[in-house]
């Protein structure tokens, strides 16, 4: 099956490492030894691995220290908050054009995601719920039709994904978040840009208030491990 493997080892390991970091399989701050991870990933050699590290470093997912190699980037609380503030701002920028430009087809697609998120909520499937939630927000941003905005939004989401996920472990807020999403969808369908912007902003504000404590606890745990 995998006979012809010339030309995409770097690509493959970059994607796998990115997934592992974003999903939290590798803990923040954890050192990644070239040889060690290489043997763990199909016995890949060091060259494509090193290239993957450089890419992920440019994305902010790993940090490279000279002569000391790569480690999973450990963000500070301040950095996570700055990033979330930016993400909210970006969604705000997307709101008006998204309302103006979104197609019926994309509206239906988001609607379906919303339905599936509701199902995940009822089944109490955390991961599924979380990913659908993220997907909905990404789709709204995409609807604005600005490729660069979409790319930046996706990249910054990935960078802090692990931390936000930690902040969603408790589902106390899920029902309220669902209701807010319902409103958001309504504003989008009504093509009311300014309302959509306010709803999105409030949605994140509410969400972050709850998540924050959990994320802080996560930070404390990481600090313990790291010491």
Partner DNA sequence: TGCCGGCAGATTGCATGCAATCTTTGCCCA
Partner DNA sequence: TGGGCAAAGATTGCATGCAATCTGCCGGCA
Binding flags for DNA, 70-99, as an x/- string (CB under 7 A): x-----------------------------
DSSP labels, the chain: -----TT-HHHHHHHHHHHHHHHTSS-TT-EE-HHHHHHHTTT--HHHHHHHHHHHHHTTSEEEETTTEEEE----HHHHHHHHHHHHHHHHHHHHHHHHH--HHHHHHHHHHHHHHHHHHHTT-HHHHHHHHHHHHHHHHHHT--HHHHHHHHHHHHHHHHHHHHTTSS-TTHHHHHHHHHHHHHHHHTT-HHHHHHHHHHHHHHHHHHHHHHHHHHHHHHHHHH-
Query: By C-beta, is 53 or 174 nearer to DNA?
Result: 53
Beta-bridge partner residues of 70: 32, 64
1 belongs to the binding site for DNA (CB under 7 A):
no
Kindly state the number of chain residues that form the binding site for its own copies, as judged by CB under 8 A.
29
Q: Please report how close the Cβ of residue 2 comes to DNA at its closest, in angstroms.
A: 11
Contact 160, 80 (CB under 8 A): yes
54 binds, among DNA, its own copies, none (CB under 5 to 8 A by kind): its own copies
Query: By C-beta, is 22 or 70 nearer to DNA?
Result: 70
68 binds, among its own copies, DNA, none (CB under 5 to 8 A by kind): DNA
Contacts to its own copies from residues 28-47, by CB under 8 A: 47
Contacts to its own copies from residues 134-163, by CB under 8 A: 146-149, 152, 156
Kindly state the number of chain residues that form the binding site for DNA, as judged by CB under 7 A.
25
Q: Please report how close the Cβ of residue 120 comes to DNA at its closest, in angstroms.
A: 36
64 belongs to the binding site for DNA (CB under 7 A):
yes
Q: How far is CA 19 from CA 56, 94, 113, in A?
A: 11, 26, 22
Contacts to DNA from residues 30-59, by CB under 7 A: 32-36, 44-48, 50-51
Q: Which residues bind its own copies (CB under 8 A)?
A: 7-8, 10, 47, 50-51, 54-55, 57-59, 66-67, 78-79, 82-83, 85-86, 89-90, 92-93, 146-149, 152, 156
Binding region for DNA (CB under 7 A): 4, 6-11, 32-36, 44-48, 50-51, 64, 66-70
């Amino acid at each position: 099956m995998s006979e012809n493997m010339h030309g995409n080892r770097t690509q493959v390991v970059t994607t796998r490492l990115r997934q592992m970091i974003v999903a939290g399989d590798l803990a923040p701050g954890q050192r990644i030894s070239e040889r060690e991870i290489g043997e763990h990933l199909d016995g890949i050699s060091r060259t494509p691995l090193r290239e993957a590290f450089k890419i992920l470093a440019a994305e902010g997912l790993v940090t490279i220290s000279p002569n000391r190699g790569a480690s999973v980037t450990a963000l500070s609380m301040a950095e996570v908050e700055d990033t979330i503030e930016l993400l909210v701002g970006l969604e705000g920028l997307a709101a008006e054009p998204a309302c103006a430009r979104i197609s019926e087809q994309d509206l239906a697609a988001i609607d379906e995601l919303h339905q599936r998120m509701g199902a995940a909520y009822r089944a109490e499937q955390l991961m599924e719920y979380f990913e659908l939630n993220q997907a909905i927000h990404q789709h709204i941003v995409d609807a604005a039709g600005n490729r660069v905005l979409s790319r930046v939004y996706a990249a910054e989401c990935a960078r802090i994904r692990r931390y936000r996920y930690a902040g969603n472990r408790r589902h106390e807020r899920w029902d309220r978040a669902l209701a807010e999403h319902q409103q958001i969808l309504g504003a989008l369908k009504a093509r009311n840009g300014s309302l959509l912007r306010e709803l999105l902003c409030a949605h994140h504000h509410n969400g972050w208030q709850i998540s924050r404590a959990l994320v802080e606890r996560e930070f404390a745990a990481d600090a313990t491990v790291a010491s």
